[in-house]
């Protein structure tokens, strides 16, 4: 899907309050940016991050705060790659549903 912020998918099926925005960075790597309707400052305070940076941060979070947590579950690299690939191939195809979400008008 796509809106004024860019390409995104809903990482939690049926929950439109959380979106993960994706793009191809300058170095060609897929980058992510989290948005939550109830915490909009998250999007504003955090820059675009590569999956490797997110994975490192998730490891640190598990080590220091919660070993059972899986922060990476929101950041689906396969879905992000496919969404970016489809958009590069045909920008019109990214306007529909993605990962359990419904089309945004």
pLDDT digits (tens, 9 = 90+) for 8-56: 999 999 999 999 999 999 999 999 999 999 999 999 999 999 999 999 9
Model confidence at 77: pLDDT above 50: yes
Phi, psi at residue 70, to the nearest 5°?
Answer: -130, 75
Name 103's Cβ contacts closer than 8 Å, sequence gap at least 6. Answer: 1, 95, 96, 97
pLDDT of amino acid 93: 61
Name 27's Cβ contacts closer than 8 Å, sequence gap at least 6. Answer: none
Name 43's Cβ contacts closer than 8 Å, sequence gap at least 6. Answer: 5, 21, 33, 34, 35, 36
Mean pLDDT of the chain, nearest integer = 87
72, HSE (Cβ side, Cα atoms, 13 Å): 16
pLDDT of amino acid 97: 46
Query: Could you tell me the pTM of the whole model?
Result: 0.81
pLDDT of amino acid 94: 59
Average pLDDT over residues 79-104: 70
Domain assignments of the chain as residue spans, ordered by start:
2-91
């Amino acid at each position: 899907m796509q809106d004024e912020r860019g390409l995104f998918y809903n990482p939690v099926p049926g929950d439109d309050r959380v979106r993960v925005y994706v793009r191809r960075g300058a170095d060609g790597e897929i980058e992510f940016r989290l948005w939550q309707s109830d915490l909009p400052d998250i999007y504003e305070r955090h820059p675009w991050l590569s999956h490797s940076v997110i994975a490192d941060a998730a490891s640190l979070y598990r080590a220091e705060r919660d070993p059972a947590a899986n922060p990476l579950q929101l950041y689906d690299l396969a879905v992000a790659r496919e969404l970016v690939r489809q958009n590069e191939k045909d920008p019109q195809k990214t306007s529909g549903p993605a990962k359990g979400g419904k089309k945004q008008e």
